[in-house]
Structure 1
Amino acid sequence: MDPLDDKSRAAHVEMDDYTMAMDEKKGVADYKADAIEAENAEHNMTVIEAVRAYPMATFWAFVMSSTIIMESYCVFLIGNFLGLPAFTTRFGIPDPTATTSGGYVVAYKWQSSLQVSGQLGALVGVFLAGPLTSAIGYRWATILGLMLLNCFIFVFYFAESIEVIFAAQILEGIPWGIFIANAPAYCSEIVPIKLRAPATQMLQMFWAIGSIIVGAVTYRYNTLLTPDAYKIPIALQWMFPTPLIILMFLAPESPYWLVRKGKLEQAAKSVARLGRKTQVNASETVAMMRRVIELEKTDKSPNHLELFKGTDLRRTLIVCGVYAAQNLTGNLIANQAVYFFEQAGISNNLAFALGLITSALQMIFVMLSWILTTVMGRRTIYVWGSLINTCFLVALGIAASVGKSTSASLAQASLGLIVSVGFTLGPAPASWVIIGETSAIRLRPLTTGMGRAAYYIVEFPCIFLASYMLNPQGGNLGGKCGYVWGATGFICFVLAYLYLPEMRGRSYREIDILFRRKVPARKWTKTEVDVNADE
């Protein structure tokens, strides 16, 4: 064999390797240029321009957010059942001190257990949601949850004992966990930067809508003393899952999920369905998503252990902290509004009316929060909203400490309403945006699930504590519970002030880089990230 031929072949191999390397380098350079173009386009959009460019993204975020109605509906339903005479007479015990609810009260242990049962199921659901969604996508995971919920409602409807109701709530909670883990992640992934806040804040609006429906239904039936008073509200749960199954079947998959799976062509089709073809360049948008995915790329499959390693630990703690804080800043007063009003000395009928008014005001204030979050930022309204709510909680405790009178009862009811409504203007809607933005893209289903798990783990003892404080057979504190929630709320305010960064106007690439640089929370707004940086 001619040694010159060997040298010639070797030279050709080297040239081929060089050519392939150059082609690959050129390909990377090409998609990076497209990625920069797409990111700059999103930064330069106004909110109105973003809505016009991505009308269907707004619609599908609306659809996914509406799955939260079902958890909200049942959480508030159980809370309202505790003050519903027909329910307490059927499943409660006589209480000579009870001036409302027909002279009956659900035993303290079951009162707490019923309110925690759905969350027990949801805790299982959120841990299932991460691996399930990572494997089959947001659409099919949500559809599966809706189908399960349709089946589990039967158990609740036909329950004839408080023990079966408890079991039914656990079963219903499993799909709730899937919805609550997937919704903020999906909504934040299908919309451009300027729409992330309103898209994820719709979750809080639908939470309020669920409570409005419950409030209206239980207000209508609270004077009825037959089983229909609670059977009809339970049956109304069936009006949600089937229409949502059809809509979610038609919905596009998250393009970020498709890019993670290497399905770039399908991701481009998904982007094209989310935006107007005349205003959105699908290939450039997919390139932007690919750039973020490459930045986070690793050979490992996403797993829960990664959430507690490196910079992802900080991101996980922020999501878990924001979720957990919802239970410590007055939210439980909102969830038990009717029962709280009754224990504050308000008549049964007026308590249900105030509960309905509270829910309606919450919905209005969530809409107002869209403007505040867009203009002022997530950190600002979350941190200072938490402080303001803490002050009202302390004022509630003071109002309950001045003695029993009509004026004191009305003051407690008013402050309870303000706390419930104020929570939905600042901390509550801002928390959904923070949860949707904070996690790494590849770990997002796992992180949102872990965060919601932290919410439920903190909520369990809080529910028992809240029920004990309000129950006449327990602490019988009434409005004095404001002192307790005021103290926990103040701790949440301090932690948020120290550790919560401002992510308004940041692309996911910029958020990744700022976390990798370990920039302190209060310096995020002053830190520049070069558009060419790929750290």
Structure 2
Amino acid sequence: MAESKQTGVGTVTHTDASSKFDAQVAAASITDKTETVGEAIRNHPMAVFWAIAMSLTITMEGYDTNLMGSLLAYPPFVAKFGQYYPAPIDETLISGPWQIGLGQAANCGEVLGLFFTAYLAERVGHRMATIGSLVAMGGLIFIPFFAPNIGVLCAGQLLLGIVWGVFSVIGTMYASEVCPLALRGYLTSFTGVAWTIGSFVSSGILQGLVNNTTDWGYRIPFAIQWVWVVPLLFVAFFAPDSPWWLVRQGRFEDVEKSICRLTKNCTSEMAKQRLAVIVHTNQLEQQQQMLLSSQTGKAASYIDCFRGTNLVRTEIACVVFAAQSLVGQVFVGSPTYFFVQAGINPSDAYKLGFGASGLAVVGTLFSWVLMTYFGRRPLMIAGFAGMSVLLLTIALLTYHTTVDGVTTTTGALWAQSGLALAWLVVYMSLFASQSLSVAAEVSATRVRSHTLSLARTAYMVWAIIDGVIETALLNPTEGNLKGKAGFVWFGFTLLLLIWSLFRVPETKGRTYEELDILFEQKVPAWKFAETQVDILDEGDEHDKDLP
């Protein structure tokens, strides 16, 4: 009697239809591996559009992160919420504890939001999770806009952070599941572009309002966040659901509709081939889950991220995300406050901050050029090396700018500022975009929502710790170390460079099923690029064990 097999394209028998199913998988896999970037754009224009459009939600997080960091030295904001310190400081400042509170309230909120993001994304889908978060954000913006004191402002940042926790990974999750293989690196890293666009806009607005000494000087920047909500609601409402999510929900008829919405001149056969690949990969991961747990058949959970090879994949995703902060992002990534504390006057500091945001956008776009010719692994390693050298140089230059805490030369100050801008270019062009792509690609599809939520949580936890450390290092009422703080971040970056040599795999050009197999076979990270994988042989082996 022929063995029955549920494929998602119908119930078939091994003797009558498994060869057809394998042929569909092979055909789609060949298309994935041979399709060029230009062909992928022409064949999947709507996939490109929807991946970019859904990733724009993180623009608001980039806007507010840069906004709050810059407001700490913004004259009208400091006049409203600051405290006067008598001699020898003789200046109105946001105190160290409140700097920590304002800087980390949103980060704490994001940790809470991230915990629920995986469940939301898997339960209601990326679209509905985005819609609900946008509606919540529209209401919560009223809190910082009307905040009568710094305590209310801090509470507003905390609540908004919960929403930004959803935005911070939902775009990457969605893009990783709707875009073709040839475009995966570009579109999963587009969230970095969206983030820097938000940062660039907030820098421009603050530069335009820096001479406004009224409360509107900081209220207008808060109010501009409402501009993003309505258009993004329309985008999320009309976007197609992820085919991978629909397969995990068992909605196979809807999968073909979604695939055809993402593919130009889509035919029924093309949709079935793409569906076959998704089902084949899903079956392989179900089999791997069954070997590790008795919970097969139930929805994925955070515990699954720490079972079997998923543990290694979770480690890689979490470390590359946490590295975004550990390499000194809080030190020179949003550099306006660093410029002011280094001794540059506020007007010049905000001009430099505005220029830095522009360089961040350019650096991210340049990363797309680099990833066309180089893999994720070499670019990330080069990024760690370059940032290490720049951080060490910034720290050493401090000995030429001050004597006993007193500024002695402006030349070295401007040299430090120039190196901070160079660090930002290296960070965005070599590391940041690759970290987003690697985290999205190393995670297994069935636990991608959970893995990316954990990875972003790792980033937020370290961002909170780093923010506290940096405040203690830079604030004039605390350590007042100025550029010497670079020694701390140089140490972290050097450790990450060593880690990356042994742990970061090459994921460029690999289908999700190939990555599943490479991790299952425990291939060393430095051999991923050269190892050959036969997905049909591996898939057939697992199909035999399916119940």
* Normalised TM-score (structure 1): 0.94
CA RMSD of aligned residues (A): 1.6
Number of matched pairs: 517
Judged with a 3 Å threshold, the aligned counterparts in structure 2 of structure 1 residues 476 and 39 are, in CA distance, closer, same or farther, namely same
After superposition, the Cα gap between the structure-2 partners of 1:496 and 1:303, relative to the gap in structure 1 and judged at 3 Å, is same
Residue in 1 that maps onto 2:187: 199
Residue number in structure 2 paired with 1:90: 80
2-structure distance, mates of 1:405, 1:214: 31
Equivalent position of 1:248 in the other structure: 236
Query: How far 1:20 moved relative to its partner?
Result: 5.2
CA distance in 2: counterparts of 1:18 and 1:65, whole angstroms: 46
CA distance in 2, matches of 1:33, 1:330: 49
Of 493, 498, 512, the residue aligned with 2:516 is: 512
Gaps of 5+ in 1: 1-16
The match for 1:340 among 335, 338, 341 is 338
For 1:416-455, what aligned pairs fall within 5 Å after superposition? 416-455=420-459
CA distances 1:436-464 after superposition (whole Å, capped 9, x unpaired): 11111010111100111111111111001
Deviation at 1:19, TM superposition (A): 7.3
Structure 1 equivalent of residue 289 of structure 2: none
* Residue aligning to 1:483: 487
SS state at 2:73 partner:
coil
Looking at structure 2, the residues matched to 209 and 443 of structure 1 have their Cα atoms a distance apart, in angstroms, of 29
Greater Cα offset, 262-271 or 400-409: 400-409
Find the aligned partners of 1:232 and 1:23 in 2 and give their Cα distance. 61
Matched, 1:44 2:48: no
**How far 1:97 sits from its partner (Å)?**
6.9
Alignment correspondent of 2:281: 292
Residue 496 of structure 2: aligned partner: 492
- Aligned ranges for residues 68-79 of structure 1 at < 5 Å? 68-79=58-69
118, 127, 146: which one aligns with 1:130: 118
* Residue 8 of structure 1: aligned partner: none
Q: 383, 386, 408: which one pairs with 2:384?
A: 386
* Superposition deviation, residue 201 in structure 1: 1.5
Letter in 1 for 2:150: I
SS at match of 1:281: helix
SS of alignment partner, residue 94 of structure 1: strand
Q: Is residue 2:290 matched to residue 1:281?
A: no
Alpha-carbon offset, residue 435 of structure 1: 1.3
Give, as a single letter, the amino acid of the residue that structure 2 aligns with 1:515. F
Identical counterparts, % of pairs: 34
State the alpha-carbon separation in 2 of the partners of residues 411 and 44 from structure 1: 46
Query: What are the within-5 Å matches in structure 2 for residues 92-131 of structure 1?
Result: 92-95=82-85, 103-131=91-119
Structure 2 gaps of 5+ residues are 6-10, 287-295, 403-407, 543-547
1:141 corresponds to which of 105, 129, 139: 129
Deviation at 1:181, TM superposition (A): 2.3
Distance 2:495 2:238 in 1: 44
Deviations 1:405-430 (A, max 9, x none): 11111111111111122211111111
Segment of structure 1 superposing worse, 422-431 or 26-35: 26-35
**Quick one: structure 1 residues 29 and 475, their matched pair in 2 at CA, closer, same or farther if it must change by over 3 Å?**
same
Amino acid at match of 2:237: F
Aligned to 2:293: none
Q: Quote the Cα distance in structure 2 between the aligned partners of 1:331 and 1:274.
A: 36
Structure 1 residue 98: Cα displacement: 9.2
Separation of aligned partners in 2, 1:215 and 1:173: 20
Whole-Å separation in 1 of the counterparts to 2:211 and 2:51: 38
For 1:460 and 1:220, how far apart are their aligned partners in 2?
Answer: 30
SS for the counterpart of 1:425 is helix
Shift of 1:18: 3.5
Measured after TM superposition, the shift of residue 86 of structure 1 is: 0.6
Letter in 2 for 1:364: V
Contact 2:331 2:486 in 1 (8 A): no
**1:32, distance to aligned residue in structure 2 (A):** 2.2
Residue in structure 2 matched with residue 235 of structure 1 by the alignment:
223
**Secondary structure class of the residue paired with 1:296:** helix
Q: CA deviation at 1:128?
A: 0.3
Larger Rg: 1
Task: Name whichever of 183-192 and 227-236 sits farther off.
Answer: 183-192
How far apart are residue 337 of structure 1 and its match? Answer: 1.1
CA distance in 1, matches of 2:433, 2:155: 31
Alpha-carbon distance change, 411 to 530 in structure 1, aligned in 2, over 3 angstroms: same
Q: Secondary structure at the match of 1:525?
A: coil
Q: 1:23 Cα deviation (Å)? A: 4.3
> Residue deviations 1:333-375, cap 9 Å, x none?
3443111111111111110000000000110111110111121
